[in-house]
Amino acid sequence: MSRSSFVRVVLSVVTVTSIFWMIGCLGQNSFLAGRAFPPSTILERVLVAIQNPSPITTGALQILDARYDIRNAENGTIPSFFISGYKGSLPSLILNYPEQSTGYVYGSGDGSLAAINYATEAETGNISGLPGLSSSVFIPSSGTAIVAASQTAQFVTVEDRVQGATVYLNLPNVYKVEVNPSATVMLAFVQNNNYAYRIIHLQQPNGNVSPVPTFPNEANWPKGVAPVDCQPINLPVYCVVPVLDQHGNPIQFDRPYNTIFSSDGTTGWLLNCGPECGGQQSSVSFLNMGVLDIYNFPGSTYPTPPANPAPPTEERRVPVPGGATMALYGPPVNLAQQTYPVPGGAVLYVSGQQLQKDGLFEGFLSVLNLASNQVTATYPISDGTHTKMLFGDDNTLWIGSQLCQTGERVATNQKETGCLTMFNLATNSVMVEPWYGDLTGLCAVLQWHKMYTAYGGQIHIYATTNVGITTITTGYSAGSELYNGNVTVQGTAFDVAYMDAITNASD
């Protein structure tokens, strides 16, 4: 055999071996399921929204390697990886859709909404239509609509990207929007108010316009209920109206604060904040999603006319004394795939704060049984306003809050007063983590037994198991913090997202 032939044989063997080695390494990753191999070559990516990374830049999106917990290339040749072309100011929210290899990042400094292509690791354009800053914004995985609340301008923006229409619906002091995954139910909340509002769509599929809805009881609606607004005025397409009961009267909630939707969008639970937000009784309202559909309104014939009288929008309400500002449906049977049990056998984990006799609030996790409609257990957790909840590997539930230093734990000199809690679903045990500041970002790196957080403006990583969780890290216990020296970022880390999750529901 000639020298050149021998070299070709050796190279062929090396190439085949390398391919099989790569397939083995990809076994726990989803790139073999049709996703493009990224330019960074990182197979387990966590995206970090960073504010003020330098004196001349107000925002950046950095990619971390969540398998090895490093910010650089494995061989050290590239010191860091960023989403190219991103120009937003003060990125504060990542809407993460790994199934579509797409994400959207909202910048609270300039009101920008940037589309991110996960395959190319680049911004694909700044989405226009949002006038000024928004206090709350949502875009579904399909990218067909944008819904945002502008508390300063006092209106709700609906950008219909299919019809090419953008409307601004007047709703004084609106501060939050809640939208189900398919964007067929859109709700808006007004600060310091007991009423919720829904958005309806007047345009029919055949191009005709439905008449603007009228309500027989509108003249007798309680004081504080905003009137119906439909826009554009000359040819209305969208309206914002109060959420009504079967008699056409606005439902009086108790400081509605949040709405939790099932991953398929067919079930919804409205969280009444109660005393924590200046109300009377925290609770969970079970919503009739069919009545809230954007096409379902009085007088509508699309897709089918509603029953007469329509069934109640709020089917029932269950008191939750421990507080209700955030919730999570589960636990999943298969965490990685986010496969949930039937509702009758599941629970709703609800986090919030309860007012104590000394006038301070104390954080609690309440377990709401969806079959009996009763709170079956309550556990003390971090104080503060709870805004993040996520299931992790190894039967763990993680809960994040802000302003946790203003509650009962600090006042009573408890050992741990942090804004992050790990709850063990198997043992019903609680671990409150040390305090670093507000918890603003949370993502589970599923099948790698880690939780990445934006905690106190920096990246902190936590283990979900007692065994070694990577090829280079061993000896950590569940709930303990992993070494973060190789993932710290320059600037303020405000949000995190697991770009390579198997499903959208797992982040």
Q: Locate 234 and state its tokens.
A: 């000359």
202-209 long-range CB contacts below 8 Å, 24 or more apart? 202/230, 202/236, 202/237, 202/238, 202/239, 203/163, 203/237, 204/302, 205/302, 209/235, 209/236, 209/237
Mean pLDDT of the region 249-265: 91
Read off the pLDDT of each residue in 362-370 and give the average, rounded to a whole number: 96
Residue type, 72: N
Is the model's pLDDT at 478 over the cut of 70?
Answer: yes
Q: What is the mean pLDDT of residues 144-169?
A: 92
Lowest mean pLDDT among 123-127, 192-196, 352-356: 123-127
Distances from the Cα of 161 to the Cα of 184, 223, 265, 295, 383, angstroms: 14, 35, 20, 17, 40
| pLDDT surpassing 90 at residue 132 | no
442-456 pLDDT per residue, tens: 999 999 999 999 999
Q: How many Å apart are CA 447 and CA 393, to the nearest integer? A: 7
HSE (side-chain half, CA atoms, 13 Å) at 488: 5
For tokens 């045990």, name the residue: 429
Whether 89 has a pLDDT exceeding 80, the answer reads yes
Categorize the per-residue pLDDT at 19 as very low, low, confident or very high, splitting at 50, 70 and 90. Answer: very low
Per-residue pLDDT, averaged over 270-288, amounts to 97
Percent of the chain residues past pLDDT 70, beyond the cut: 85
Average pLDDT of every residue of the chain: 87
Average pLDDT, integer, range 337-354: 79
Angstrom distances, CA of residue 286 to CA of 180, 312, 317, 319: 14, 10, 6, 11
DSSP string, 38-78: PTT--SSEEEEEEEEEETTEEEEEEEEETTTTBSS-TTSSS
**pLDDT at 235 (0 to 100):** 84
Triad 333, 324, 370: Cα angle to 5°: 40
Would the pLDDT of 173 be above 90? yes
pLDDT band at 127 (very low <50, low <70, confident <90, very high): confident
- 44 versus 233: which is more confidently predicted? 44
Taking residue 75's Cβ as centre, other Cβ atoms within 10 Å add up to 6
d(CA 444, CA 498): 7
Asked if residue 86 lies in contact with residue 101, where contact means CB atoms within 8 angstroms, the answer is: no
166 neighbors 156 (Cβ within 8 angstroms): no
Q: For 20-40, what is the mean pLDDT? A: 58
Other CB atoms closer than 10 Å to residue 132's CB: what's the count?
A: 11
> Is 70 exceeded by the pLDDT of residue 265?
yes
Number of C-alpha atoms within 13 angstroms, CB side, residue 395?
A: 8
pLDDT value for 16: 37
User: pLDDT category, 208, cuts 50, 70, 90?
Assistant: low
Instruction: Assess whether pLDDT exceeds 60 at residue 6.
Output: no
pLDDT of 299: 52
Distance between CA atoms of residues 161 and 115, nearest Å: 14
- What letter would DSSP give residue 370? T
Instruction: Please tell me the predicted confidence (pLDDT) of residue 215.
Output: 82
DSSP sequence for 216-246: TTGGGPPTTPPPPEEESSSS--EEEEE-B-T
Q: What's the pLDDT at 374? A: 94
Task: Give dist(CA 352, CA 362) in Å, integer.
Answer: 8
Q: Which residue has the higher pLDDT, 69 or 298?
A: 69
- The per-residue pLDDT for 335 is 73
Q: pLDDT grade, residue 486 (50/70/90)? A: very high
Q: Report residue 493's pLDDT band, with 50, 70 and 90 as the boundaries.
A: very high
The DSSP 8-state label assigned to residue 410 in this structure reads H
List of E strands, 280-371: 283-287, 314-319, 326-330, 347-355, 361-369
pLDDT at 468: 54
The candidate with the shortest Cα–Cα distance to 166, out of 81, 231, 252, is 231
In the block, residue with structure tokens 């079970």: 286
Highest mean pLDDT among 77-91, 119-133, 299-313: 77-91
Q: SS3 breakdown of the chain: % helix, strand, coil, rounded to 5?
A: 10, 40, 50
3-state SS assignment for residue 191 = coil
pTM > 0.85: yes
For the residues 298-312, what does the mean pLDDT come to?
55
| Average pLDDT rounded to a whole number, residues 90-101 | 96
> At a CB cut-off of 8 Å and minimum separation 6, what does 126 contact?
87, 88, 112, 113, 114, 115
Position 203 pLDDT exceeds 60: yes
- Structure confidence at residue 57 as a pLDDT band (50, 70, 90): very high
Residue-range domain boundaries for the chain: 24-123+377-507, 128-319
